[in-house]
Structure 1
Amino acid sequence: MNRPANRFLLKPISLAVVAGLMAPVSTAFAQSNEDEVIEEVVATGTRLKGTATAVMEERKNQAFVADILGAESISRTGDSDAASALRRVTGLTLVDGKFIYVRGLGERYSSTQLNGAVVPSPDPTRNVIPLDLFPSDIIESLSVQKSYSPSMPASFGGGNVDIRLKSIPSEMVFNLSGNVGYNTENSGDVLDYAGGGRDWFGEDDGTRAAPAAIQEMWNSKQFLDDLDPQVALDLFKDVYKDYDPELTSADPDMGLNMTVGNSFDYDDDWRFGFLLTAGYDAQTRASEEYELQDPDRVGDNTILVRFFDDIRGTERTVQWSSMLTLGIDYNRNHRVDYTIVALNDTRDEIREMYGNTENLNQAEGLRIRDIDVEYEERTMYTNQFKGMHTFPELNFLGLDWTYSEGRSIRNAPGNFNTRFVLEDVNDDGVFDTDSEIVLLDAQTAGRYEFQQLHDRLENFRYNFTIPYTMGKWETELKVGANYVTKTRSAENRRFDINTLAVEDSSVLVGNAYSDIFNDDVLETLELNSRAILRDTTIAGDDYVAGQKVDAYYMEADFFYDNKWRFTGGVRWEDFRQVVAPLDPRTNQFDLNDEADRAQLAFQEDDFYPALAVTYFLESDMQLRASIGQTVVRPDLREVSSATYIDPLTNFPIAGTPGLDTTDIINYDLRWEWYREAGNNLSVGLFYKDMEAPIESVQSPAQDGPPLIRIANAESGEVYGLELEFLQGLEVVGNGIWDNLFLSGNVTVSDSEIVLDRQNIVDQTGVSAAITNTTRRMTGHSQYVVNMQLGFDSDNGEHSASVVYNVFGDRILIPGIDGFDDSYEKPFHSFDVVYKYYPDFNTTITFKVQNLLNQDKEIEFEETLLRSETRGTTLGLTYKYDF
């Protein structure tokens, strides 16, 4: 069908339901002419509404407080992945574009599931899953449960995020979509470098990998220590060197997506179905940045000792995803699904950084120029079998089960950095990057780093339910179990380029690393007694870890006289974890003594109860209250004393053997009003009482970025208020107001932790000159605001949304040595999304993101610590349903 459909004039308030509550159902509307002949049936009236009604009912019927975001709402706001979509949920904030903070609690305080099952993480330093890994095209809905129930993992602080993938359709689905985009920061030329031949696919073709000869030495435990100078030079000849920045025009963002699926009935009792989705997306983001690394203080004045005041960077990302679901249903009582998911997210970033250090500064007529390249591939594969069974002959006994096996891989073969020194030789105040520059003459003139991580996880869970009715009581009993087995291995290798080995330092003059060490130069290079390669792999760079969780739970759900609902139960969880840092040179445990070894093996078991009460004030109004006891455990590397580099912040982090778990008591109270035509209003209060919360603290650094330590605070608390609403604006007046709705949410909260300096020193074994021993929790924002103004035309051909998000300032780096904490400043995100439906099959979407052109900024004491330009993004998508 290529012509516009005749459309029913829809009451806009019914469309308003869409924005607020989110996901898809289709209903047909008909228009008749004067002879009462139906011309055409179309679904445009509810293409926005989706399963908003179903989502609303699910949220309303939850025993424990939960928020649900459906696929249609994600599409409406233009968010491209699970992480960016979840920031629209009440009380959630997005950190570093990957991790969700629920109610101001860091990523370690939240758990993530995929279709109700635990999945592996490709992050080398955290158990949690970077949520930007999941593209929105494969997501059916996102469920955020904020109050604990025994069927959830006991490691529950802020909440549990369940990513629900699209399932088998009830009828034939086949659509294709393509998108193009542009970011204003990409105007003009951007930085680039010569990479591999398969970078377009997000896969290194071996270009960046360590040469075979070096890799063979590492595999045989022969490291690059004390090499003969000529042997080291011969090895260096095969090392990839073409990392020099070059200027090029940026490719536009582009993506392709396909979805095809269908269901088939056989012999009335059987139904078979499938759904296949595949997607590809490539983006380029240029930026200008500022980075302060090492401030000092003289009297009342802050002195900037080490900083980069001129940074240009370009980040290229490639994402591809594929999902296949097969399902079989018998008599609507027994259903089994199989789903396989493959996701890849590749990040390739180059930065050219100009700045000063304490010894190389402008006062001495010197500047530094760093080239920094980071390349990583994050891949996740998951196989899931899922069964849902109802036995009418056994009083409608229900059995649900899931078996999930997954693997995550992080491959980072291309991390490289090098340093040049600029000298204002002619004293003209200009540092000429062509004629006044030389490669640093030092043991650390350049560094290559190669990282691998494999995370494997197996999860089996089952759940029995049986309903029972007696008089005014309706009861459902639930018992179940959940078994998780996880193994992880991580490997890191690095070597430095020692230019002190070069006999004639004039060879180092120039601004291109690949020219300074080109093949002709290396053939005739004169060396002294030093080796040009230094292996700087250290003990603790490798580690292995294992985790096993056996959990059993019971829940009972009681309804009395359709007025009261009592839901409660208890979970018993046996948690075992071991982390073993290894010395790569010996493949032996990197443990100082037996005490350290004992602290790395961690085991605990306990009961975790929860109770929720709901009172139905009216048929459309209810009051909820709940209480639950949970725990938050340290991440895998946080109990290892080995130092590692956090790939997100580039800060060195050292864990703490013997780190205690955090015990939490969670309280929730919420009033909900589900009104006519999808309008709704809810107000909630929450409080969390924490014992020994896990926090990040700084330890004074000798040079460069601060050393971050993981330690227990003495106590902590988080409390706040959440408001959520959706209202059609026809209440304001007639005309255009009938086509508008307003939805949004506001969270106002606070937190406090109490730290003891001496206890932290005793626990970590290092100085902890903490400035503020009583402060907010790291990452906590005192307010979060989401607003959406939506428009839907009467004829269903047009819809538009203006979307706003902002969070209050939050501590990212706790202060030491008298310096205040460093805060990420509020980021006002203002987006516009417009959709046009020229015919029943076609959807054209135009979106503008970060319309205010906001920059990311981190400050302490009104001094800029970091800044990064983000630019405004324009995107156009064309989708056709066959």
Structure 2
Amino acid sequence: MRYIFTALFLLTLIPAAMAQVGTVSGTVVDGENGDLLIGVNIRVKQTNGGAVTGIDGKYNLKLPPGKYTLEFSYVSYQSKLVEQLDVKSGGLTSLDIALSQKSVDLQQVVITASAIDNSEVSVLRLQKNSLSVQDGISSQEIAKIGFSNSAESMKRVTGASVEGGKFIVMRGLGDRYSISQMDGMSLPSTDPYRNSASMDLIPSTMVDNIVVKKTFTPDLPGNFTGGAVDITTKSLPDRFYLNVSASVGINDQATFNNNFLSDPIKGKTDWLGFDDGSRKRPDLARNNPYMTSLGSTIANIQNNPDNQQLINDFNTSMRVFADRPYSVSAGSPGLNRSLNLATGNRFKTANGNAFGFNLGLNYQHDNRFYDNRSINNYKANISSENRMQRFLYSSGSESQSTATVGGIASAAYQFGKNEVGVSAIYNNTGDQSVLNLDKGSFPGALSSGEYRNRVIGFQQRSLLNTQLKGKHMASFFGETKIEWAANYILSSQYEPDLRFLGAPVTTAGTYYFVREVPNPFHFFRDLKDNQYMGKLDLTSTLKKFTLKYGGFISRKERDFTEYRYQLSTTGTNPADAEYLSFGEAGGDFDRFFSAGNTGVLGKSGSQAIFGNSYEDQTQPSNLYEGYEQVMAAYLMGTFNITPKLKTVVGARIETTDYEVAVKSSNKAPGKIDALDVLPSLNFIYALNDKTNLRLSGSRTLARPNMREMAPFISFDLLGGFPIVGNPDIERTNITNVDFRYELFPKSDELFAVSLFYKNFQNPIVTELDATSDQPQYKYVNSEQANLAGAEIEFRKGLAFIDPAMKNFKFGVNFTYIYSRVRLRPEEYEIRKVVDPELKNWRPFAAQSPYIFNLLLSYDQKEKGWESTVFANLFGPRLSANGAGAAPDVYEVFGRLKDKAENRLKNNVPVPELNFRIRKQFKSHFSVALNVNNILDYDVVNYQEHNGEYFTTQSYNPGRVYKLTLGYSISR
């Protein structure tokens, strides 16, 4: 940390005597429809200088400190004069202007400047003028609450919740029905089991705002139903800026905990989240004939015990994992920490054009420790009165260490009515984990006895997104705005050498192997996606209407591999003195798995003495490749039916071309080849200049991901049920109807009420096959589903209560959701045998019946104080289907009544409550304190039967305290 503070100190030595000017910037729009106005003249009366709005409708002025009068003028629009605009040295004054079209010869409008330096205003302006139902969160709100990544930031958005800390659930619809975009282009998922991107990969420091489109218009991708989340990164900056922040934090369960466990393998780049090759699959294990034909190799050695070359080669092969221990290291992790740096500038060229750039770096390292970590599985016995029967029952601890490093670089050049930009964003996250479940039983496989297991893992996820884009104005077909973009995205999820050990234990604490439980193994998994995308959007403004039309193409190519090397005791004799059995080793895993206990250990007479060996248990069917290609074209028009009523109508045509095939199999590949026409109709009625009524109807779709189509079975490493792909799965078609009333009392205030209904044909669901002796999950199409809900949002300053509360602001939103997914007849007939009153439907996966957000902020800029209290609450949500006739599994942030037994008290949720306070000193320095999870909730998955709650998984994330020191300059 001394290097961080030294760097911060050196930054303060930047000459303070440099000439300081102020910056005035903003956006000019049409006051009636919110369209950006390009080429508006802004004249500063005191200097006779000025500026012109660019292709993005924005302007930028540099002025010495003082008070100014600005005149905004545009052909066929009423001029507007802004007086008493106060420009401060080094400050940024945001001033957005709405111009009215001339209907009669009116005098110039004169107003007194009362600009609000608040990016939240810009987000609400976008929401008010949007052609679709839209919500969002600004970078200022993200900073106020102290969110560290985009996934956390989404909790503030109405109708949004986050699943697994990564995946967005909009309006009760899981990641399958939402898409994630960055600067208007879709992001791929780094998880083979998910459709949408892992939002935790995008640090909040790289975000300008996050906008969520909740209704479909033809210029958007057709594969969303819950929401299209678009993360906008910083583009052309208003002025030079340099922001540096460093933080340290404490997790009250992990920090300085001597019981924190870690992998003994320590790579040189682990601290950056990269595996340096220490865990990679050994070259000798690749297609090794001794491992792929272990039984015949051992027989060959027994028949040729004097063939020393054969024995040496065999031993070399079998001992490749000898330096990959199953033991763990206990230690005390230090403080959580992070470092962020961002800089950028804007230049005016000699010919009046503008060039700007942004650079950002982000590093974060966090530790988490979950004591009383439990993982249980239950299977219902239809013929037994005791319906809930344990399949697996285990508890212990889990230690996690996460390192994230990322960066952003972007540049843009504006010339006349044109802008060209380029950007690259990279993020890498490495998760090291040790799951040590040292108490439990496995009645699903073992008749009696204690069972323990351990999983040591490393997961590296990375995302590289490069984009070239442009905006241009042309004089054809009226005034036409041309926008284009081309992206290349590389995403990956790399899991090298995940080690699993599960074994029963005698009453004396001695480990031993049984056939019913898999022997320890090393597991390697690698997913790589290459995606190429391009789009072209043209917007032509004619006399009475606006047309938007264009096209889109995307192709994603995936390569997925999964290898497994399992310990084998074939040919070993525990009675041999040279061999150390698992039971004899007790808990000393290093001795048992050592090179000296592996391979051929010697000879007894004419027979070779075998120790441990490894067999290649890779299933060729688990290696697959595939592609997803989508092409689209659309046409939409915006018409003003009356001065107050606007309609947006159009359609999008999308082709789907998917193919997923197992690399080494004659199984038929999964294919989808389809064409969909997706119409959309939106009405926007302006009751007045502050109030809108919106009505929308549309058709959208949801596609399966490649993992769901791949015809292979993957196994849960923690004793859970296998997952089966389905090459015959079909896409889902959805009909959407939305209504919204929205009121904007002031530029930073909002009151909105929304109603929505969705009908699904062939919804894709995960169903648990209850007819098999070994239950397994499979992806299937149900017949139909319905979802309905309501949202309400209120943002208001509290000065109306008392002028003394002018610095307080209140925000609250509430979402209620009700859904029914019809059970397939095969599942329903089995389940109703146990419960004759069983309903023939369940809710959507990850859907909470309600979501509640509350924010109270205090902002006193004069004295540099700001503070925020944020609360997020969601109702229990479906996590997984129950096995056989067992109840379904739900997740809740709740409270365990007995942590020793991991029993849930009830399913009443506990809010996530966070607090942040920040103080700014002498304009440049700031210090902030964050406290997260104040109420200390438990994350619990449970099943309910006859009023009793059975915990399937649980852990406590702990409270987090973070102190941040910041330094910023701008001019």
Structure 1 counterpart SS, 2:144 = helix
Partner of 2:627: 546
Measure how far apart 1:699 and its partner are: 1.8
Partner of 1:11: none
Quote the sequence identity (%): 24
Aligned partner of 2:250 among 182, 186, 189: 182
What are the superposed Cα offsets for residues 508-548 of structure 1, whole Å, 9 maximum, x if unpaired?
22213222222444487467679721221113210011111
* Cα distance in structure 1, aligned partners of 2:610 and 2:326: 28
Structure 1 counterpart SS, 2:118 = coil
Aligned partner of 1:803 among 870, 882, 885: 870
* Cα distance in structure 1, aligned partners of 2:794 and 2:760: 30
Partner of 1:268: 351
Partner of 2:581: 507
* Cα distance in structure 2, aligned partners of 1:784 and 1:413: 38
Measure how far apart 1:360 and its partner are: 7.8
Aligned partner of 1:573 among 648, 654, 657: 654
Structure 1 759/792 Cα, relative in aligned 2: closer, same or farther at 3 Å?
A: closer
* Cα distance in structure 2, aligned partners of 1:751 and 1:636: 26
Gaps of 5+ in 2: 1-11, 17-57, 68-83, 95-114, 302-310, 603-607, 831-835, 893-908
What are the superposed Cα offsets for residues 364-422 of structure 1, whole Å, 9 maximum, x if unpaired?
5x312211012111111121001011125874311000000111122111211112432
* 1:779 partnered with 2:846: yes
Partner of 1:789: 856
What are the superposed Cα offsets for residues 682-713 of structure 1, whole Å, 9 maximum, x if unpaired?
00000001111111111249788x52111111
Q: Considering only aligned residues, what root-mean-square deviation do their CA atoms show, in Å?
A: 3.1
Structure 1 25/770 Cα, relative in aligned 2: closer, same or farther at 3 Å?
A: farther
What are the superposed Cα offsets for residues 91-119 of structure 1, whole Å, 9 maximum, x if unpaired?
11111111111111111111121111123
* Cα distance in structure 2, aligned partners of 1:568 and 1:701: 48
Q: Which has the higher contact order (CA 8 A, sep 6+)?
A: 1
| Equivalent residues of 2:245, 2:966 under 8 A apart | yes
Counterpart mapping for 1:144-293 below 5 A: 144-187=212-255, 188-189=257-258, 190-195=260-265, 196-215=267-286, 217=288, 226-228=296-298, 230=311, 232-239=314-321, 240-288=323-371, 289-293=373-377
Structure 1 614/620 Cα, relative in aligned 2: closer, same or farther at 3 Å?
A: same
Partner of 2:385: 300
* Cα distance in structure 2, aligned partners of 1:555 and 1:193: 56
Tell me the number of residue pairs that the alignment of Structure 1 and Structure 2 aligns.
822
| Equivalent residues of 2:599, 2:610 under 8 A apart | no
Measure how far apart 1:874 and its partner are: 0.7
TM-score normalised by length of structure 2: 0.80
Counterpart mapping for 1:437-476 below 5 A: 437-440=510-513, 444-469=518-543, 473=544, 475-476=545-546
Moved more, 518-527 or 401-410: 518-527
Letter in 2 for 1:870: P
* 1:347 partnered with 2:428: no
Counterpart mapping for 1:847-862 below 5 A: 847-861=930-944, 862=949
What are the superposed Cα offsets for residues 160-192 of structure 1, whole Å, 9 maximum, x if unpaired?
111111213121111211111111111522112
* Cα distance in structure 2, aligned partners of 1:376 and 1:807: 29
Measure how far apart 1:85 and its partner are: 0.9
* 1:386 partnered with 2:473: no
* Cα distance in structure 1, aligned partners of 2:633 and 2:786: 29
Measure how far apart 1:317 and its partner are: 0.8
Structure 1 578/319 Cα, relative in aligned 2: closer, same or farther at 3 Å?
A: same
* 1:517 partnered with 2:589: no
Counterpart mapping for 1:694-709 below 5 A: 694-700=764-770, 706-709=775-778
* 1:679 partnered with 2:749: yes
Structure 2 counterpart SS, 1:511 = coil
Structure 1 223/123 Cα, relative in aligned 2: closer, same or farther at 3 Å?
A: farther
Measure how far apart 1:715 and its partner are: 1.1
Measure how far apart 1:31 and its partner are: 11
| Equivalent residues of 1:335, 1:387 under 8 A apart | yes
* Cα distance in structure 1, aligned partners of 2:134 and 2:252: 38
* Cα distance in structure 1, aligned partners of 2:863 and 2:476: 47
* 1:123 partnered with 2:197: no
* Cα distance in structure 2, aligned partners of 1:685 and 1:622: 14
Measure how far apart 1:302 and its partner are: 4.4
Structure 1 504/418 Cα, relative in aligned 2: closer, same or farther at 3 Å?
A: same
* Cα distance in structure 2, aligned partners of 1:647 and 1:419: 10
Structure 1 counterpart SS, 2:620 = coil
Partner of 1:136: 204
Partner of 1:17: none
Partner of 1:662: 732
TM-score normalised by length of structure 1: 0.88
* Cα distance in structure 1, aligned partners of 2:773 and 2:280: 29
Structure 1 691/677 Cα, relative in aligned 2: closer, same or farther at 3 Å?
A: closer
Structure having the higher Rg? 2
| Equivalent residues of 1:169, 1:263 under 8 A apart | yes
Structure 1 477/250 Cα, relative in aligned 2: closer, same or farther at 3 Å?
A: same
Structure 2 counterpart SS, 1:638 = helix
Letter in 2 for 1:211: P
Aligned partner of 1:101 among 169, 179, 182: 169
Measure how far apart 1:358 and its partner are: 1.6
* Cα distance in structure 2, aligned partners of 1:540 and 1:348: 28
* Cα distance in structure 2, aligned partners of 1:771 and 1:524: 59
Moved more, 123-132 or 685-694: 123-132
Measure how far apart 1:653 and its partner are: 1.2
Letter in 2 for 1:144: V
Letter in 2 for 1:679: E
What are the superposed Cα offsets for residues 554-580 of structure 1, whole Å, 9 maximum, x if unpaired?
010122453111111100111100000
* 1:743 partnered with 2:777: no
Partner of 2:72: none
Partner of 1:834: 917
Measure how far apart 1:359 and its partner are: 7.4
* Cα distance in structure 1, aligned partners of 2:964 and 2:718: 31
Partner of 2:963: 876
Letter in 2 for 1:165: T
Gaps of 5+ in 1: 4-23, 426-435, 584-588, 763-768
| Equivalent residues of 2:493, 2:528 under 8 A apart | yes
